[in-house]
Amino acid sequence: MLGSLIIMGDFFCRAHTLVEVDLIIRSMKGNPTRIRIGEGKISGILSIVFAIISLCGVICFHFPEYLTTPEFREVYDVEILRRVLFACLSFSFFLAITSFLRGKNKRLGVYGLIISALAIVLGGSAVVVEDFEQSIVSVSLDWLLIDMLILSAIFVPLELFFPQKSEQTKFHAEWKTDLVYFAVSHLLVALTAVAVKAPAEILFKELPLSGIRNAVSNCPFLVQLFIAMLVADVFQYAAHYTFHKNRFLWRFHALHHSIRSIDWIAGSRLHIVDILITRSFSYIPIYLLGLPLPVFYAYVAIVALQAVAAHANIRIPFGPLKYLLVTPQYHNWHHCEDPEFYDKNFAIHFPFIDMIFGTYYLPGSDWPESTGLGKEKYPQGYFKQLAFPFKGAPGTMDLDNVSDR
């Protein structure tokens, strides 16, 4: 991870003098303005991002019983995370100074310096973690920060150099809202896992599954992981399909299909009701089969990576792999604005599940011309969108067949 951060920092610093990138961001007046690398704005934005990650990381060290996931703590090395935190603080300071020196508007650099300074005042990477008792209720802030660093290190360069839609800006009208969705969905990982596990063990403990569980428990780790991905994808398919066909549930899932600028962060735009129900359906079979927690959390990491990849704005020739695993091209057809192709490609891991149920569609190397819900309009902002399905229904609800919009 530390190596990825160094590569990212080196990449963006070199980019200041090498290329001009067509990034578009909304200005203070709400009008799109082009940002040219070398003006100090990009370094200022990155400084703030690294500073916020650093500050949140320091807070995690202060309150691990509330803000970290016990099962994840068993996997990662705390000393490595300290070095990563130090690297983030260093990048934030360096980029803030760069922005301050190059930019006409000094505010971004100043904000980055202030937030970084606050993280250092609170202890920085040297915070001492005393013995603590894990709280019954906690959020996965550690998972959010680690995943944000890893995924941004992967997909920011990919979307920059290999975009499917080269005209699409990363700072589109709803990028801030999508960032909130990304955070919420990651923070709920631990809560969802705990909420699903206890009821599943109580309700289904009498099922005669001992033979299957014994067989699964004797399998190697990678085989167990494949089984987890397979059964979770089948159950996820069922939940996903139901959200499309049930008129009430469509109210919540339609929010995800309102995305017009699909990218690696926008794919997280899911209503909390959608998240809880779909994850529950996906997690229950993993618990029923008695798969161990390391397998479960490995699955969580993989599904997070593949769900983000499926929505990424990248055009990479996956070759024969695109028939084995869900790719951006494959999932873009699920978001296609044309109703003819709407009820296609529900799987998130394996396309052959769609083949089995007759919902598979992948026309060679073609991509859909546009995505979204046509003229359907949603309120702007996370909390307004959170309340929207309870106040009314999308205009698509007026149709006899929900999926025809």
pLDDT tier, 312 (very low <50, low <70, confident <90, very high otherwise): very high
pLDDT at 233 over 90: yes
Asked if residue 89 lies in contact with residue 154, where contact means CB atoms within 8 angstroms, the answer is no
Higher pLDDT, 190 or 69: 69
pLDDT at 344 over 80: yes
Tens digits of residue pLDDT in 381-398: 899 999 999 886 665 544
pLDDT at 91 over 70: yes
Q: Residue 330: which of 299, 303, 365, 300 has the closest Cα? A: 365
pLDDT at 13 over 90: no
User: What pLDDT was estimated at residue 39?
Assistant: 54
Tens digits of residue pLDDT in 119-174: 999 999 999 888 888 888 788 898 889 888 999 889 988 988 899 888 777 777 78
User: What pLDDT was estimated at residue 190?
Assistant: 67
Q: Residue 36: which of 103, 109, 131 has the closest Cα? A: 103
* Tokens at 97, concatenated: 């100074």
Cα distance between residue 257 and residue 255, in whole Å: 5
Asked if residue 133 lies in contact with residue 68, where contact means CB atoms within 8 angstroms, the answer is no
Contacts of 8 (CB under 8 A, 6+ apart): 152, 153, 156, 157
Cα angle 6-9-11, degrees, rounded to a multiple of 5 = 105
Q: Residue 125: which of 83, 90, 97 has the closest Cα? A: 83
Please name the helix (run of DSSP H) or strand (run of DSSP E) that holds residue 59, with its range, or none.
Answer: helix 41-62
- Average pLDDT of 295-300? 88
pLDDT tier, 40 (very low <50, low <70, confident <90, very high otherwise): low
User: What pLDDT was estimated at residue 1?
Assistant: 41
Sign of the alpha-carbon dihedral angle for 170, 173, 176, 182:
negative
Main-chain dihedrals φ then ψ at residue 195, nearest 5 degrees: -65, -30
Cα distance between residue 323 and residue 318, in whole Å: 9
CA atoms within 13 A on the CB side of 1: 21
Q: Is the pTM of this model over 0.85?
A: no
pLDDT at 280 over 80: yes
Alpha-carbon distances, residue 148 vs 166, 179, 320 (angstroms): 23, 10, 29
Q: What is the CA radius of gyration of the chain?
A: 22
Higher pLDDT, 200 or 218: 218
DSSP 313-349: ------GGGGGTS--HHHHHHHTBSSGGGTT----SS
* Tokens at 351, concatenated: 């396309």
Sign of the alpha-carbon dihedral angle for 217, 218, 222, 227:
negative
